Amino acid sequence: MYIPDNLWPQIEPKLVEAVKGLKVGQPDEVGTFVTAVINEASFDKISTYLNAAQSSSDAKILVGGKCDKSKGFFIEPTIIVAKQPKYATMTDELFGPVLTIYVYPADKYDEV
């Protein structure tokens, strides 16, 4: 997701609140919005990206980022804010509850 820096201050808190409100669980539980990823290979791939984001100077995990495969392959809904538009989670396709945002200078819209 690309968001101009002049809108980000209004969007960020609402987005974080919305993601924190998502129910993670079994698909047959009422109210569940996010379920486990399809298999362990997918879990391992996504968790590798999340671990890299946690230690990267080019990204920040805004919300989420936790992974648990003790009872299924659950990835917490996660938002990553990338400092570069070509950060790995902006360019690589992940099939999981991960959204990466690049906040760009509003006056550089055409360049971005």
* CB of 65 closer than 8 Å to CB of 79: no
Question: Which residue type, as a one-letter code, is found at position 99?
Answer: L
74 occurs within a structural domain: yes
Q: Is the pLDDT of residue 71 over 90?
A: no
The count of structural domains within the chain is 1
DSSP 37-61: -SSHHHHHHHHHHHHHHHH-TTEEE
User: Residue 45: left if φ>0, alpha if ψ -120 to 50, beta else—which one?
Assistant: alpha
Residues of the domain holding 34:
2-105
90 occurs within a structural domain: yes
Give percent of the chain with pLDDT exceeding 90: 91
81 occurs within a structural domain: yes
Residue 28's Cβ-side half-sphere holds a number of Cα atoms within 13 Å equal to 0
Per-residue model confidence as pLDDT tens digits over 13-48: 999 999 999 998 888 999 999 999 999 999 999 999
71 occurs within a structural domain: yes
112 occurs within a structural domain: no
Q: How far apart are alpha carbons 37 and 39 in whole angstroms?
A: 6
* Residue 17: how many other CB atoms lie within 10 Å: 10
CB proximity list for 111: less than 8 A, separation 6 or greater: none
CATH number of the structural domain spanning residue 22: 3.40.309.10
Per-residue model confidence as pLDDT tens digits over 40-67: 999 999 999 999 999 999 999 999 999 9
